[in-house]
Structure 1
Amino acid sequence: MVAKYIAGLRALAARRVVTLVAAAFVLASVIVILVRLGPPAKLNDLKLPDVKLPDIDMSKLPNIPGFSGSHEPEHYEKCDRNITEPLKQWKAAQQKYDKLMDDKFTIAMQTYKRPKELDETLRVILSEKIASLHEIVIIWNNLEEKPPGNFKSETGVPVRYRVSERNSLNMKLLPDPDFKTQAVLLSDDDVYYKPQDLEFAFQTWRKFGQHRLTGALPRCATPDAEGNWGYGFCSKDSNQDVYSMIITNLCFSHMSFLDYYSSNNTVMQKVRDYVDDHFNCEDIALNYVTSYLTGTGPLLVKGRDKYVNYEPAQGISKKPGHLEARSKCLNDLTKMFGCMPLVNETAHIERGVIVL
Structure 2
Amino acid sequence: MSSLVARDHKVLVKAGRPASSSSRYWRSPLAWFYSISSWRSRLLLGISMLILIFLVISRSIAIVSWDQDEANFLLVSRHHRYTVLINTWKRYDLLRKSVAHYASCRGVDAIRVVWSESEPPSESLLAALEKSIRAAKNNPELELRIDINDEDNLNNRFKPLDGVTTDGIFSIDDDVLVPCTTLELSFRVWLSAPDSMVGFVPRMHWARLKNNWKQISPTFRPEQPTFTYGGWWSVWWMGTYSMVLTKAAFLHHKYLEYYTLQMPASIREYVANQRNCEDIAMSFMVANLTNAPPIWVKGKLYEIGSSGISSLKGHDVHRTVCVNFLAARYGYMPLVSSNVKAVGANLQWFW
TM-score after normalising by structure 2: 0.68
Q: For residues 261 and 49 of structure 1, do their structure 2 counterparts lie closer, same or farther at Cα, with a shift above 3 Å needed?
A: farther
CA contact (8 A) 1:235 1:241 kept: no
The residue aligned with 2:39 is: none
Cα distance change of structure 1 residues 318 and 50 upon mapping to structure 2, 3 Å threshold: same
Whether the 8 Å CA contact 1:234–1:242 is kept in 2: the answer is: no
Distance 2:328 2:102 in 1: 39
8 Å contact 1:271–1:333 — kept in the other structure?
yes
Distance 1:241 1:158 in 2: 40
* Structure having greater relative contact order (Cα 8 Å, sep ≥ 6): 1
State the SS of the aligned residue for 2:238. Answer: coil
1:281 is aligned to 2:277: yes
Q: Which residue of 2 aligns with 1:93?
A: none
Q: In structure 2, what is the Cα distance between the partners aligned to 1:180 and 1:254?
A: 12
User: Over residues 257-293 of structure 1, what are the superposed CA-to-partner deviations in whole Å (9 max), with x where a residue is unaligned?
Assistant: 1111111x3x521111111011110100000011100
Please list every run of 5 or more consecutive structure 1 residues that lacks an aligned counterpart in the other structure.
6-47, 53-100
User: Larger helix proportion, structure 1 or 2?
Assistant: 2
The answer on 1:228 being equivalent to 2:222 is no
Which residue in 1 is equivalent to 2:70?
Answer: none
TM-score (norm 1): 0.67
Of residues 290-299 and 101-110 in structure 1, the stretch that sits farther from structure 2 once superposed is 101-110
Gaps of 5+ in 2: 6-61, 67-77, 211-224
CA distance 1:198–1:49, change in 2 (3 Å): farther
Alpha-carbon offset, residue 198 of structure 1: 1.2
Aligned partner letter, 1:293 = L
Instruction: Tell me the distance in 1 between the aligned counterparts of 2:264 and 2:159.
Output: 13
TM alignment of 1:116-265, pairs within 5 A: 116-126=93-103, 128=104, 130-147=105-122, 148-149=125-126, 151=130, 152-155=133-136, 156=140, 157-207=142-192, 209-226=193-210, 227-235=225-233, 239-263=237-261, 265=262
Contact persistence 1:106–1:133 (CA under 8 A): yes
Indicate how the Cα distance of structure 1 residues 102 and 291 shifts in structure 2: closer, same or farther if over 3 A, else same. farther
Find the aligned partners of 1:253 and 1:138 in 2 and give their Cα distance: 16
Contact 2:204 2:234 in 1 (8 A): no
Amino acid at match of 2:88: T
What SS does the aligned partner of 2:264 have? Answer: helix
SS in 2 for 1:143: coil
Residues 284-299 of structure 1 mapped to structure 2, 5 A cutoff? 284-299=280-295
CA contact (8 A) 2:235 2:241 kept: no
1:145 Cα deviation from its structure 2 partner: 4.2
**Does the 8 Å contact 1:138/1:161 carry over to 2?**
yes
Q: How far 1:115 sits from its partner (Å)?
A: 1.1
Backbone CA RMSD of aligned residues: 2.7
Contact 2:177-2:304 within 8 A present in 1 as well? no
User: Cα 1:49–1:213, aligned 2, differ >3 Å: closer, same or farther?
Assistant: farther
Aligned residues: 260
> Greater CA radius of gyration, 1 or 2?
2
Q: CA deviation at 1:236?
A: 6.6
Q: Distance in 2 between matches of 1:238 and 1:105?
A: 30
Alignment of structure 1 residues 1-356 onto 2, 5 Å: 1=1, 50=64, 102-126=79-103, 128=104, 130-147=105-122, 148-149=125-126, 151=130, 152-155=133-136, 156=140, 157-207=142-192, 209-226=193-210, 227-235=225-233, 239-263=237-261, 265=262, 267-303=263-299, 306-313=300-307, 315-352=308-345
